[in-house]
Amino acid sequence: MTGRRLVYMDHAATTPAAPEIVEAMLPYFTERFGNPSSIYGIARESKAAIDTAREQVAHAINASPEEIYITSGGTESDNWAIKGVAYAHRKRGKRIITSAIEHHAVLHTCQYLERQGFEVTYLPVDEFGRVSLSALADAITDETILVSIMAANNEIGTLEPIADCARICRERGVYFHTDAVQAIGSVPVDVRAQDVDLLSLSAHKFYGPKGIGALYIRKGVRLDNLLHGGSQEQRHRAGTENLAGIVGMGAAIERAVGRQEEYARRLTSLRKRLLSGIMERIEHVRLNGHPTERLPGNLNCSFEFIEGEGMLLLLDHAGVAASTGSACTSGSLEPSHVLLAIGLEHATAHGSLRLTLGESNTEADVDYVLEALPPIVERLRTMSPLYADYRRSCNVQ
């Protein structure tokens, strides 16, 4: 362990852009840079490049190109979907339903809307992080205008039954939005088969660039614009198009969805090796999230008696990049809202570690972590008053 090696296991936070994706983007910074809204040669080339990327995104999720609206990323897409529907339909009703374990881009948007007079129901989840379909059906009232349930949780990896949620919403005439930021490229996503009305995605989660994403808006769904200005995106999302980013997103989603099955198979195998290795080597560990219905690359465990942050620091020292949960909330001292929602005690939630596998990871990486992690946990437990208490209570000493 020299600390030189980098084992990156935080692919849920972000992925590197694949070299061939960056290669595809490069001409659009310096040579093919024309503003796609203009009419001369290089502008027409830009427009054609955007058309191609839009088709790639549409094809990847089985939508039509005119249902794909480009945004600056998953957060903008989530904000637009939720505020856009809320503002456009508030005369019909001011009730929104979501789950307690959504990404903050959904939760904080809903909380903002609550301050504007909307009422939001936060559905609880079971011990594995799954929403209950009967609870969803019960929560819908005549004033409900939108349900937003994520496709896959970013912290614990649990897959939600979005096709079933969508079916319930369709029957009740309520729009259904899903944040599929973590799902694209890892599990199949099909807006027709799953019958969703709105879907958010973000390129940097599937080996594309940061700062670019999309909102799928099913034809006929009506929502207010979030960004007003120029006539871009069929007059629904203003702002000069991020040309290189869009080209990168198109190429990246085509690549990701094309290799999704193989990617999922490989990561599932690595994840199982990692999980069983941890369980064999370390005591008092709990797997968070669903045992099987989860993202292939996501492993989230709680290590009793210690703090996740200590693990991160020592793992970083050993050259392993990991996280305790969402990157967006690091710096916060609050335990994860997701781990609390699945029933963990504060102390246990604080001892959680998220390892998310991706393209670069190998069996050697897994084995390296399996070598590095046990002494780290042991060292932290040695320092832990909670662990000392526990051992005394067991009369181990």
Q: What angle do CA 155, 17, 315 make, to 5 degrees?
A: 50
Q: Which two tokens stand for residue 297?
A: 């690359």
Nearer to its own copies, 324 or 384 (CB): 324
CB of 381 to its own copies, least distance (A): 21
- Indicate whether 239 belongs to the interface with its own copies (CB under 8 A): yes
Site for its own copies in 216-235 (CB under 8 A): 224-232
- Residue 214: count other Cβ atoms within 10 Å of its Cβ: 33
Query: First-to-last CA distance in the chain?
Result: 32
Nearer to its own copies, 36 or 161 (CB): 36
Nearer to its own copies, 197 or 233 (CB): 233
Site for its own copies in 284-343 (CB under 8 A): 309, 312-313, 315-316, 320-323, 326-332
CB of 21 to its own copies, least distance (A): 8
Give the CA-trace dihedral at 372, 260, 150, 61, to 10 degrees: 160
String of contacts with its own copies for each residue 107-126, x by CB under 8 A:
-xx-xx--------------
Site for its own copies in 55-94 (CB under 8 A): 72-76, 78-79
Site for its own copies in 338-377 (CB under 8 A): none
CB of 18 to its own copies, least distance (A): 8
Active site residues: 328
Site for its own copies in 144-173 (CB under 8 A): none
Nearer to its own copies, 25 or 180 (CB): 25
How many residues are there in the chain? 397
String of contacts with its own copies for each residue 176-215, x by CB under 8 A:
--------------------------x-x----xxxx---
Q: Is the Cα dihedral 67, 71, 73, 74 positive or negative?
A: negative
Site for its own copies in 31-60 (CB under 8 A): 31, 33-35, 37-43
Nearer to its own copies, 46 or 288 (CB): 46
E strands of 135-185, at which residues? 144-148, 175-179
CB of 180 to its own copies, least distance (A): 16
> 368-371: long-range contacts (C-beta < 8 A, 24 or more apart)?
368/5, 368/7, 368/320, 369/7, 369/9, 369/274, 369/315, 369/320, 370/274, 370/277, 370/278, 370/281, 371/1
Site for its own copies in 240-279 (CB under 8 A): 240-245
CB of 326 to its own copies, least distance (A): 7
Q: Which two tokens stand for residue 24?
A: 């595809």
CB of 167 to its own copies, least distance (A): 28
Q: How many CA atoms lie within 13 A of 220 on its CB side?
A: 3
Q: How many helices (H) and strands (E) does the chain have?
A: 15, 12
Residues touching its own copies, count (CB under 8 A): 81
Nearer to its own copies, 73 or 161 (CB): 73
**What are phi and psi for residue 198, nearest 5 degrees?**
-140, 140
Q: What angle do CA 66, 72, 78 make, to 5 degrees?
A: 80
